[in-house]
């Protein structure tokens, strides 16, 4: 078989795998209805009353209740599920932010350094850094932002993460969006984000960063990676690349829809344990703020339940868990942004000493 033909077949297979991954991440209409009824239909009559509804379902009850009978039946829930599915599909392929767009969005007084290589040799070993232009006598805290995407897609230029980066700079932080190698085995992803943190510490003086005040936020796969930053810095097998004389630890972790039990495809129990945050639970864990929604069909809420229980049982000093039951599913952080974003800002301000 000729080389181009082999490449074409490989391309088709990769495309099919990506399509399957998208489909697996998206709950069906029926799954959404089943989840809502399971959580909110207290009397098991196959519909949700105004008294039973919680969270956003309660807040939007009148709009969803098309026939105004004070109940949400399966037809009305189905219409809601279809709208959410369409919105989620639109959000799955966000238009990535360009260099010019970041510069246009950045407020006056913000310094940007884009596509900085934190390690040489791979196109994804890059990060974007934003910092206040005004000088500060005291080194600044830093926030590491890690995008999601099932470990196989996503980019630091996701509009939501660019928005967070610029928001934290406006609040006096040095903020960084990180890219990492996309790999289903997940181990390269872990190694890369840890290398990015070590790079930041190695360049702390240049960017006036306090190496003892670094926080991290991630969503979905990114949530797994920041949890590993908070817990696994004693595991040398996860460190590779330069800057090894610096720590990859962070002092505060915020995460949404966290996969606490990731697996290595075709791997052993030992392989899975190496990349699991649950392996590294200790009383010395940094403060954690976790968001998850009970109907999440991409990352089961039991992942965060178990992570929270393990941290508390180990004696971790601060574990805050925001467990939603509003049907927002895997998009819990953005769906509840008016609550989650301020909660996370307060958490980092307190944990990193900026209050």
pLDDT of res. 86: 59
Q: Domains along the chain?
A: 3-92 (1.10.238), 99-351 (3.40.50.1820)
Residue, of 350 and 66, whose pLDDT is higher: 350
What per-residue confidence (pLDDT) applies to 93? 57
Mean pLDDT, residues 170-179 taken together: 97
Question: Whose CA is closest to 226, among 190, 195, 257, 199?
Answer: 190
Q: Average of pLDDT values for 297-325?
A: 97
Phi, psi (degrees; rounded to nearest 5) at 130 = -130, 140
What pLDDT digit, counting tens, does each position of 131-152 carry?
999 999 999 999 999 999 999 9
Pairing status of strand 126-132 against strand 174-178: antiparallel
**pLDDT tens by residue, 230-263:** 999 989 999 999 999 999 999 999 999 999 999 9
What is the rounded distance in angstroms from the CA atom of residue 238 to the CA atom of residue 24? 28
Structure tokens that stand for 14 in this block: 């990769």
**Quick one: how far is CA 135 from the chain centroid?**
31
How far is Cα of residue 78 from the mean position of the Cα atoms in its chain? 28
Interval 306-312 mean pLDDT: 98
Phi, psi of 138 (to 5 degrees): -100, 135
Give the mean pLDDT of the chain: 90
Query: What is the distance, to the nearest Å, from the Cα of residue 272 to the centroid of all Cα atoms in its chain?
Result: 20
Handedness of CA 349, 59, 306, 331 (dihedral sign): negative
Is pLDDT larger for residue 3 or for residue 189? 189
Relative to beta strand 140-146, strand 209-219 is parallel
How many other CB atoms are there within 10 angstroms of residue 302's CB atom? Answer: 14
């Amino acid at each position: 078989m000729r080389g181009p033909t082999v490449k074409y077949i490989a391309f088709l297979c990769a495309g099919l795998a990506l399509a399957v991954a998208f489909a697996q991440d998206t709950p069906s209409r029926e799954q959404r209805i089943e989840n809502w009824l399971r959580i909110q239909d207290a009397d098991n009559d196959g519909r949700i009353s105004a008294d039973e509804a919680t969270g956003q379902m309660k807040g939007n009850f009148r709009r969803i209740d098309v026939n105004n009978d004070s109940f949400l039946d399966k037809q009305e829930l189905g219409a809601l599920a279809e709208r959410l599915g369409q919105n989620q599909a639109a959000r799955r392929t966000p238009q990535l932010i360009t260099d010019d767009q970041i510069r246009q969005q950045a407020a006056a007084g913000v310094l940007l350094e884009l596509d900085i290589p934190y390690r040489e040799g791979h196109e994804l070993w890059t990060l974007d850094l934003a910092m206040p232009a005004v000088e500060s006598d005291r080194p600044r805290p830093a926030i590491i932002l890690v995008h999601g995407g099932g470990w196989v897609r996503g980019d630091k230029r996701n509009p939501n993460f660019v928005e967070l980066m610029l928001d934290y700079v406006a609040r006096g932080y040095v903020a960084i969006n990180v890219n990492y190698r996309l790999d289903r085995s997940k181990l390269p992803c872990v190694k890369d984000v840890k290398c990015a943190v070590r790079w930041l510490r190695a360049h702390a003086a240049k960017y006036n960063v306090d190496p003892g005040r670094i926080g991290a936020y991630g969503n979905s796969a990114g949530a797994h990676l920041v949890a590993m930053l908070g817990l696994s810095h004693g595991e040398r097998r996860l460190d590779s690349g330069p800057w090894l004389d610096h720590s990859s630890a962070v002092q505060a972790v915020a995460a949404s829809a966290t996969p606490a039990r990731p697996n290595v495809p075709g791997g052993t129990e030992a392989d899975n344990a190496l990349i699991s945050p649950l392996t590294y639970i200790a009383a010395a864990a940094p403060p954690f703020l976790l968001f998850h929604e009970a109907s999440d069909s991409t990352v089961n809420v039991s992942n965060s339940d178990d992570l929270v229980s393990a941290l508390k049982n180990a004696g971790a000093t601060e574990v805050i868990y925001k467990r939603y039951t509003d049907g927002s599913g895997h998009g819990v952080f953005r769906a509840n942004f008016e609550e989650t974003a301020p909660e996370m800002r307060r958490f980092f301000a307190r944990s990193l000493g900026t209050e």
